[in-house]
Amino acid sequence: MNETDLMHLRTSIELAWKARERGNHPFGAVLANADGLRLLIAENTVSTERDVTGHAELNLVRLATHDLSAEQLTQCTLYASTEPCAMCAGAVFWAGIGRVVYALAETDLYALIGQSAGQLVIPCREVFARAGRPTQVEGPCAELGHEAHAVHAGFWKRRA
């Protein structure tokens, strides 16, 4: 990962904090073009919008597919505070976004919050490996691991 990747990952973590402050699950996402220019941001809205599909990445994909062409999306990178879930990875694939970079691994998230029968645990790399076009994936980001963990600290216990 380069400095641009780290900058956008830090922004995604900041968005996760904002989502948490608004009463939503602590997840954030950023979309950047091939030059590293930030195009769009989104945060989780599951609680405030009362929509279980209101994940940060899916909210970002909705904005991106509305505003950008399929050709533009192939050159974009989606940055996520936490590894995209299977639903979000599917949306990234259908949008044609060419690259995903994330800070916290899904396995590390579940180590923090615990696993339950109601979770769909499929790494995004596995979703993309079964897809009809390649999606480059980088993560987790060890350099930002502490920051990526911190946004989740204490959040999930109060929801149990």
Query: Which residues participate in catalysis according to the annotation?
Result: 57
Peptide bond into 140 cis (omega under 30): yes
Sheet of strand 38-43: strand arrangement: 38-43, 28-32, 77-82, 99-104, 136-138
Q: What is the distance of C-alpha 68 from the center of its chain? A: 19
| Alpha carbons 34 and 86: distance in angstroms, whole number | 24
